Amino acid sequence: MSSGAKVSTAWKREITPGITPPGDWNVLTRVSYGLLPTYNSEENNEIGVDRMAQGTAQTTVDVGGDVETKLRYGALDEFMASCFGKDWVGNVLTMGNDRISFSIGSYASDVGIAAIARGAQVATMNFEIPNDNEINVTTTFAAIAWDDKADNTSFIINPQSEAHQRRYGFKDVTGLKINGVQLGEDNACVDSFNLQFDNAVQTQRCIGNGNPFPGNIIPTTFTPSGSITMSWSKAAYTYWKAQQTGDALSFEFTLNNADGGYTFFLPEMEVSGDWPDGGSTDIIQVELSYTGRRVPPTITRLPAPIVIAAVAVTPATASVAVGATVDLEAAVTPVGASQLVTWTTSDATKASVSATGLVKGVAVGTATITATSKADVTKTDTAEITITA
């Protein structure tokens, strides 16, 4: 018998859709895994020598389904790119027309059964932001091929686990705005909301390729949509009223924790919703459904700043004659951290220091030269300078 805890899943990005490239796999940490084949059939309506039904004939095979995950920084960036049809440019993602596909595999190690979907593109991504829990993402894939086997070997070779990053929760939501106005307790308290990106994919069938699988998965219109539930107030009424006039509203929010964050921005959306009501002990809330239109949305990635570990000044001691100079160097660790430092002297009557760490002897004596990280002023190091005649 098989245990769900023994079923591992992993993915890798394809170069050519439908062909699994060599190399390591990326572990897919998930809540549920519904990517599978659906074998379609047609009833055989022939009449035989008796009244027995003639069974069915297999027609086509569709490959697709939902994968539910928790949202972590960096974990779903490639899937977001597939959904938007464009790679990240720096730390910004917006809509495009590129085909970004994956091979996604699973392996039940206790029973030795493996499966793989190839040419898997993201059809939809749905982000659920509750008022009391972690943020879930449901990614719906559509693929063009499927293989499976039960020979105690896996399609997944050398899976690489992602870093153990923090999961985003409702407390990590900031900058929640409609039309640039921050939503909160004093105007329109938001209870929960969701955001879905939908490619409205269509399956293209190709006669003559010798298999029942789709020839292509074709994205059509790209539609961001979702719903926001908020307390009924004059501000909420203003947003509800926009459906009468067809006015466009903008919507944005940020998810951020110590690992990094994302800002989601819909420049233009239209809303709809019913007039709210409630009982005598209810908090009246309005649910506004929204749909993005005309202007593509963007997701901006917010990398966490590198934490400064230390500043090291070299040489730690030096001797310089009056009127002469000595050049100090400051190295900030870890690798990749900002190397910008501020140089100061303890006694400018003995030694001066330039913005680049060039020390000049002014008068006989001693001075302490300090380098301070601009990114973290608590991180410093010093050099002791002796000024000679």
Fold of domain 310-388: Immunoglobulin-like (2.60.40)
What is the pLDDT, as a whole number, of residue 355?
87
CA distance 75 to 81: 12
For the entire predicted model, the pTM comes to: 0.82
What is the pLDDT, as a whole number, of residue 154?
96
Considering the chain, tell me which residue range(s) the CATH 2.60.40.1080 domain(s) occupy: 310-388
Q: Answer yes or no: are the C-beta atoms of 140 and 64 closer than 8 Å.
A: yes
> What distances in angstroms separate CA 284 from CA 184, 245, 287, 290, one per listed residue?
16, 24, 10, 19
Q: Answer yes or no: are the C-beta atoms of 304 and 336 closer than 8 Å.
A: no
**Residues sharing a CB contact under 8 Å with residue 21, sequence separation 6 or more, in sequence order:** 12, 13, 14, 15, 103
What is the pLDDT, as a whole number, of residue 182?
87
CA distance 279 to 276: 11
- Give residue for tokens 């005649």: 389
Query: Which residue stretches of the chain are H helix?
Result: 77-84, 234-245
What is the pLDDT, as a whole number, of residue 337?
79
**Residues sharing a CB contact under 8 Å with residue 172, sequence separation 6 or more, in sequence order:** 135, 255, 256, 257, 261
Q: Given its phi and psi angles, is residue 185 left (phi above 0), alpha (psi -120 to 50 degrees) or beta? A: alpha
* 270: nearest Cα among 238, 222, 225: 225
DSSP 352-379: EE-TTSEEEE-SSEEEEEEEEESS-TT-
Cis peptide before 267 (omega within 30 of 0): no
CA distance 336 to 240: 47
Handedness of CA 289, 294, 299, 300 (dihedral sign): negative
Centre a 10 Å sphere on the Cβ of residue 367 and count the other Cβ atoms it contains. Answer: 23
- Give residue for tokens 């060599």: 22
- Give residue for tokens 């994968």: 67
* 107: nearest Cα among 47, 178, 70, 158: 158
User: What per-residue string of b and e applies to 110-140 under the rule 16 or more CB within 10 Å gives b?
Assistant: eeebbbbbbbbbbbbbbbbbeeeebbbbbbb
Write out the chain's pLDDT in tens, 389 residues. Answer: 778 889 999 999 999 999 999 999 999 999 999 999 999 999 988 888 888 998 998 899 999 999 999 999 999 999 999 999 999 999 999 999 999 999 999 999 999 999 999 999 999 999 999 999 999 999 999 999 999 999 999 999 999 887 668 999 999 999 999 999 888 777 788 999 999 999 999 999 888 877 899 989 999 999 999 999 999 999 999 999 999 988 899 999 999 998 999 999 999 999 999 999 989 899 899 999 999 999 999 999 999 878 899 999 999 999 999 999 999 999 999 877 788 899 999 999 999 999 889 999 999 999 999 999 988 899 999 999 999 98
Q: Is 164 exposed, middle or buried (0-12, 13-18, 19+ CB in 10 A)?
A: exposed
**Greatest extent of the chain over all pairs of C-alpha atoms, in Å:** 120
What is the pLDDT, as a whole number, of residue 266?
97
377 bridge partner residues: none
Q: Answer yes or no: are the C-beta atoms of 10 and 105 closer than 8 Å.
A: yes
